[in-house]
Amino acid sequence: MKKFSKELIIGTSVLITLLILFFGIDYLKGINLFKASNYYYASYTNVAGLAQSAPVTVNGYKVGLVREIEYEYDNPGHVKVELSLDKKLKVPTGTQAVLVTDMLGTSSIELKMGTGSEYHNVGDKLEGKNAAGLMENVTQDLMPTIGAILPKVDSLLSAATAIATDSALLSSVRRLDNIMANLERSTAQLSKVMAVAPEIATNANSTMANVSEISSKLAIVSADVTTLSGQLSKMPLDSTLNNVHRISTSLADIMQSLNSNDSSLGKIINDPSFYNNLNGAAASLDSLLKDVKENPKRYISIKLL
């Protein structure tokens, strides 16, 4: 039996290991060496974020990968990218290889298939194009709008500052504070009034009861007045008024007689000599009574037997 030397065994092991390492690295990169592929090329001015084995997609479906990236020394400022595409994929003329960068900064190639009736040959150079990134879209789309808005914002801030520093506005705010304070006090007073409202309602009920009682009494009085008026209507008021008239006429005649000097009473009342005589008689009677008190023996004689 033929024996192999140790050197041959070691060399064979190293070769197998290197082959496994080579194919394993390509496999980890997504390169399948046992799958037939067609190669195309594209040129870009900026390949930031693009790495080997980056996916190549059509309508979001992976149809290949980036095989190699190298700088074009014969075309300064451009980078050539080798695309390994599925051999079954036919690339129409006018197809664009668009380099797309996502929000995380990772780039990939997206094929925008052309509408031509002819197809590219394997190894042809496709039109390379960089898609606008997120920040570029922001710069191109939003910055002009923001630039147009900034003067308006500045004017708005100036107007707001002028309004905020206006003395009339400050005085209005102070008046509003006073109004709110008055409103708060009014609310507190209203709360107190509402607390007393049940007692007022109770008093109102008792008042209404008293009014009802007074109304019933007024009804009774009204009935009595009606009865009294009926009784008065039955009385002989005409004859009574005639008697009163006659009495008043007689009294008028008597007063006229008293005031006249022709009547006896008139002479007695109106004649001063009658008054003087009465006054003299009263004086004489008074002197007589005094004398009787002082000298009773002169007028009364008592004889003892």
Residues paired with 86 in a beta bridge: 37
Residue 304 class from Cβ within 10 Å (0-12 exposed, 13-18 middle, 19+ buried)? Answer: exposed
Which amino acid is residue 122, in one-letter code?
Answer: V
Number of neighbours of residue 94 by Cβ within 10 angstroms: 14
The full length of the chain comes to 305
Q: With beta carbons less than 8 A apart as the criterion, state whether 67 and 31 touch.
A: yes
Q: For residue 244, which phi and psi values (nearest 5 degrees)?
A: -65, -40
What is the model's pLDDT at position 99? 92
Number of neighbours of residue 37 by Cβ within 10 angstroms: 18
pLDDT per position as a tens digit, 147-195: 778 787 877 888 778 777 777 777 777 788 888 888 888 888 888 877 7
Q: With beta carbons less than 8 A apart as the criterion, state whether 98 and 131 touch.
A: yes
What is the model's pLDDT at position 138? 55
What is the model's pLDDT at position 256? 73
Show the low-confidence residues of the chain (pLDDT under 70): 1-4, 22-36, 133-143, 232-233, 235-237, 258-271, 274, 299-305
DSSP structure string for the chain: -PPPPHHHHHHHHHHHHHHHHHHHHHHHTT--TTS-EEEEEEEES--TT--TT-EEEETTEEEEEEEEEEE-TTSTT-EEEEEEEETT---BTT-EEEEEE-TTS-EEEEEE----SSBPPTTPEEEEEEPP-HHHHIIIIIHHHHHHHHHHHHHHHHHHHHHHT-HHHHHHHHHHHHHHHHHHHHHHHHHHHHHHHHHHHHHHHHHHHHHHHHHHHHHHHHHHHHHHHHHHHHS-HHHHHHHHHHHHHHHHHHHHHHH-SSSHHHHHHH-HHHHHHHHHHHHHHHHHHHHHHH-HHHH------
